[in-house]
Amino acid sequence: MDEQELRAVLAARKELGPSHEEELIQGFLERLERRVGQASPDSQELKRRRDHQKEMILGGMAISIPLLAIAGGIAGLPGIVAVCAALIAVAYFASR
């Protein structure tokens, strides 16, 4: 809601008096709710994407614990580097 609309509601309240205050406030709140409703799908989509990204990264980190142990025991340092590179790839692609 921009400042001009709020000023218009306040000016109308002054002109009409307290008897119409309820209708003015109700109309203002309805317009405000419509704007919030229009913006909320974008914020919901952003939240869904961030949650998915967090799940992917946490899942990759959880599976990396046994993979690092196995890779370190079998292949040594090159195996550990390969697992770390895979973790970086998962984090990168999850963030896109």
Output the pLDDT for position 77: 94
Domain enclosing residue 32, as ranges: 3-94
Q: CA nearest 28: which of 3, 43, 6?
A: 6
Write down the pTM of the prediction. 0.50
pLDDT digits (tens, 9 = 90+) for 17-50: 777 778 877 887 888 777 776 656 677 788 888 8
Contact 84/75 with Cβ under 8 angstroms?
A: no
Number of domains, the chain: 1
